[in-house]
């Protein structure tokens, strides 16, 4: 997995080289398209700025994601076990899912102010849906014969949930989590765009106002790095928790086949 990612680096470096050459030869203005060397210089000159603002965005993302995870899993279990909730709440959630959640961000600003809470709320709201929907799918996809077999063993429904349904739903849960972590970051940045005094989104917005494009790119670079690391952390967690899952086996088989 890590080996495959390392292969991207020479491609990325090549891309940066072409970009650098193009900018220098075409003499594009810096406010329009800065050269990579200028962007990296900007990063190197203000490390503390980017570190501090990244931390703020990261905090928002992690709070929103964690809340989405906890609420999502609990709600998914409740929906699967309650016919009433399934017919009401789940249907609502699925239809509400098609509303662009970012459009609700200004609403949260009105309700919760311009502090951390409103941005966490936006982050939470966007990240919440994939977790619930995938978790419900995972819980529902339990083999009915496995549940029947457990019944013949005289196991209780609670044991069936803990020992059979939940472990079976874990791969689906991680699938939802991978989508959710990326969306939580999007929500955090979107919230910062709308009303904030900190965070990488705020950095981008103020830099844009000054046509300080190098700073915009630098912030985007940091965001991209953050998003990639967060995604791979969830992926790593999945490898640790569900090593038995078929997709991982297929991965190993494919690697083995390639020799």
Token match 């966007």: residue?
Answer: 126
* b/e 7-42 (16+ beta carbons within 10 angstroms → b): eeeeeeeeeeeebeeebeeeeeeeeeebbbebbeeb
Closest approach of Cβ 142 to another protein, in Å?
11
Nearer to another protein, 97 or 159 (CB): 159
Query: Interface residues with another protein (CB under 8 A)?
Result: 143, 145-146, 148-156, 159, 163-164, 167, 170, 242, 244-246, 249
Query: In Å, how far are 29, 76, 128, 141, 142 from 146, measured between CA atoms?
Result: 65, 20, 29, 11, 7
Q: CB nearer to another protein: give 91 or 148.
A: 148
In a 10 Å sphere around its CB, with 0-12 CB exposed, 13-18 middle and 19+ buried, how is residue 219 labelled? buried
Burial of 50 (0-12, 13-18, 19+ CB in 10 A): buried
Closest distance of CB 71 from another protein, Å: 25
C-beta of 1 vs 253, nearer to another protein: 253
Provide the token pair at 256.
């083995």
Asked if residue 73 lies in contact with residue 131, where contact means CB atoms within 8 angstroms, the answer is: yes
> Least distance in Å: CB of 133 to another protein?
23
Tokens 């996809």: give the residue. Answer: 141
Q: Which is nearer to another protein, 73 or 189 (CB)?
A: 73
Provide the minimum distance between the beta carbon of 173 and another protein in the complex, in angstroms, as a whole number. 13
Closest approach, Cβ 243 to another protein, in A, equals 9
Contact 30, 211 (CB under 8 A): no
Give the shortest CB-103-to-another protein separation in angstroms: 40
Report the alpha-carbon distance of residue 40 to residue 33 in Å, rounded.
Answer: 13
Q: How far is the CB of 140 from another protein (least distance, A)?
A: 17
For another protein, give the closer residue by CB, 85 or 146.
146
Cα–Cα distance for residue pair 68/121, rounded to 1 Å: 10
Q: Which residue, 24 or 163, has its beta carbon nearer to another protein?
A: 163
Q: For the CA atoms of 63, 69, 75, 76, what is the dihedral angle to 10 degrees?
A: 160
33 vs 147 by CB, closer to another protein: 147
């Amino acid at each position: 997995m890590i080996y495959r990612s390392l292969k991207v680096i020479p491609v990325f470096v090549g891309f940066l080289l072409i970009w650098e050459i193009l900018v220098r030869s075409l003499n594009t203005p810096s406010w329009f398209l800065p050269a990579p060397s200028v962007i990296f210089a900007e990063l190197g000159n203000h490390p503390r700025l980017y570190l501090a603002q990244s931390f703020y965005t990261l905090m928002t993302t992690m709070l929103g994601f964690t809340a989405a995870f906890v609420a999502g899993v609990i709600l998914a279990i409740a929906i699967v076990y309650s016919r009433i909730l399934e017919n009401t709440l789940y249907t609502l959630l699925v239809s509400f899912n098609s509303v662009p959640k970012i459009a609700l961000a200004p609403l949260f600003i009105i309700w919760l102010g311009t502090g951390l809470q409103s941005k966490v709320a936006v982050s939470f709201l966007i990240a919440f849906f994939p977790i619930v929907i995938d978790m419900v799918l995972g819980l529902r996809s339990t083999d009915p014969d496995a549940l029947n077999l457990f019944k013949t063993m005289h196991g209780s429904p609670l044991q069936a949930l803990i020992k059979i349904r939940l472990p079976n739903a874990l791969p689906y849960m991680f699938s939802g989590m991978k989508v959710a972590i990326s969306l939580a970051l999007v929500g955090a940045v979107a919230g910062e765009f709308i009303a904030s005094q900190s965070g990488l989104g705020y950095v981008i917005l103020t830099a844009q106002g000054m046509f300080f494009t190098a700073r915009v790119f630098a912030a985007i670079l940091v965001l991209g790095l953050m998003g990639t690391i967060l995604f791979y952390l969830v992926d790593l967690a999945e490898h640790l928790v569900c090593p038995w899952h078929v997709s991982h086996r297929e991965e190993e088989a494919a690697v083995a086949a390639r020799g």
